Amino acid sequence: MRIRVINPNTTESMTALIAASARAVAGPGTVVEAVTSAMGPASIESHYDEALAVPGILAALHDADGYVLACFGDPGLDAAREVAAGPVVGLAEAAMHAATMVGRGFSVVTTLSRTKGRAHDLAGRYVAAGACRGVHACDIPVLDLESDPAARKEVVALARHALERDESDVIVLGCAGMADFASAMSAELGVPVIDGVAAATVLVQSLITLELRTSTRGEYAPPPAKRYSGLLQPFERT
């Protein structure tokens, strides 16, 4: 099977990080193709960035049996499900569901404080009330996670604080850029630390194995044919 892992930002080095995390959990019969969005923001740290990341995501939804949206804000997830010919899973969706299966309450450790509301909104959509005990931001910009040597230590310290403050028992990493922190953090903290890239890859792989794809019966039916003009003209559907 082929899983296309889409980095919705335009930073190639993050795509490489994401690819490594996805490939580490892919099964023997699974080919992971990681792609970088051809257009949009260098990183996604606001509603504006999320909005401008969606066209690049939609343009990448082809040539695979299933798709991972490799950004913790799950940008464009519902739109992607209307057009993709295979299952589509977001990082937050996968990580939060996995967290509820290995603990009673999880804390999210994410990047900028301004993205905390989005994480709360997604938790409200994906998991039962009370499952997400808190969302904490390290206020390290997404692209600095890779370049700042102190970043991992700060994220670990914040996760330790979150576990105590929230009385939670699982950590969800709130950014694809933290993917390579998960296993070392789990060993250091003694709790499950969930990387959404790995979780989403395994979930998409499972859905494909179960021969499950997004239902086209109702809300996720293909969009009605219509004209799109200007820069979005290539998205025209006939």
Ligand X SMILES: NC(=O)NC1=NC(=O)NC1=O
Residues found near ligand X in the complex (CB under 6 A): 9, 43-44, 71-73, 110-111, 115, 142, 174-177
CB of 238 to ligand X, least distance (A): 33
Nearer to ligand X, 98 or 220 (CB): 98
Tokens of 74: 């799950």
Q: Supply the Cα-derived Rg of the chain in whole angstroms.
A: 17
Residue 34 forms beta bridges with which residues? Answer: 5
Nearer to ligand X, 133 or 220 (CB): 133
State the distance between the two ends of the chain, measured CA to CA, in whole angstroms: 29
85 in Cβ contact with 113 (< 8 Å): no
Amino acid, res. 78: D
CB of 2 to ligand X, least distance (A): 22
CA–CA–CA angle 147, 120, 191 (5° rounding): 65
Nearer to ligand X, 10 or 206 (CB): 10
CB of 72 to ligand X, least distance (A): 4
Nearer to ligand X, 65 or 70 (CB): 70
CB of 163 to ligand X, least distance (A): 19
* Location of structure tokens 């992971």: 32
